[in-house]
């Protein structure tokens, strides 16, 4: 058996997230189906670095594949892509050490939120349209409250004694991609095993609160 590291991009609108589910179309499920066709077997292991929720996209999802094949990585990549739908694409495949594990060896995760300040015909699936007036400077000030190691236990019903609710956020960058044209992008980078509810919702929602004219940055600190 050989082990490979895969880099994958996908537009997640049509999928119920990454992980295989019964009676639902998922990204991992589509990849597994493509691999089954290419390898002519279901005797392989496909594991992602993390799970994305329904409708969420990925610029570079990392996964590992363990399979018995003599195909060179580039040939394998091309054959897999030939079997995949147009909204999933394997960017690269390379051989990995036998002990490499996509999830356990992950050291950081990056999250990109694209916030549109106007209605957009072309970017609807890729942006969060906010009708309220936003101020980028207020959002930048609020972002500083999230830097470092924070405990998000108040945003989950999980027992912190059984599952850590602490997340270390290395950097939050607020950047207006096209000032004056209504598009604002917010990038969040986490340097730990990211707790998905905390990272996926809290920073984005709280930063928007801080960006509204009626609020002060300090109002993001707390419930």
What residues are annotated to the active site?
A: 53
Q: CA-to-CA distance for 105 and 182, rounded, in angstroms?
A: 38
* Under 8 Å between Cβ of 161 and 154: no
H-state helical runs in 84-195: 136-143
User: Which uninterrupted H or E stretch holds 33?
Assistant: helix 27-39
Angle subtended by helix axes 196-211 and 136-143, to nearest 10: 140
Half-sphere exposure (Cβ direction) of 38: Cα atoms closer than 13 Å: 24
Beta strands across the sheet bearing 128-129 = 128-129, 109-116, 183-190, 166-178, 148-151
Say which residue the tokens 């015909």 belong to: 121
Half-sphere exposure (Cβ direction) of 33: Cα atoms closer than 13 Å: 12
3-state secondary structure of 210: helix
């Amino acid at each position: 058996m050989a082990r490979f590291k895969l880099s994958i991009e996908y537009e997640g609108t049509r999928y119920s997230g990454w992980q295989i589910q019964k009676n639902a179309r998922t990204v991992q499920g589509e990849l597994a189906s493509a691999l089954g066709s290419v390898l002519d077997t279901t005797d392989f292991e496909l594991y992602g670095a993390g799970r994305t929720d329904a409708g969420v996209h990925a610029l570079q999802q990392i996964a590992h594949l363990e399979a018995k094949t003599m195909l060179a990585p580039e040939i394998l990549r091309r054959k897999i892509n030939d079997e995949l739908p147009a909204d999933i694409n394997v960017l690269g495949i390379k051989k990995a050490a036998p002990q490499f594990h996509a999830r356990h060896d992950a050291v950081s995760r990056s999250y990109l939120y694209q916030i549109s300040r106007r209605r957009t015909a072309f970017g609807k699936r890729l942006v969060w349209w906010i009708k309220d007036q936003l101020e980028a400077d207020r959002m930048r000030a609020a972002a500083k409250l999230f830097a470092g190691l924070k405990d998000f236990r108040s945003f989950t019903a999980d027992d912190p004694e059984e599952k850590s609710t602490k997340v270390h956020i290395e950097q939050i960058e607020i950047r207006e991609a096209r000032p004056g044209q209504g598009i604002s992008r917010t990038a969040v980078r986490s340097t730990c095993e990211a707790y998905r509810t905390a990272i996926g919702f809290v920073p984005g929602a709280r930063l928007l609160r801080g960006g509204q004219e009626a609020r002060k940055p300090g109002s993001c600190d707390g419930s």
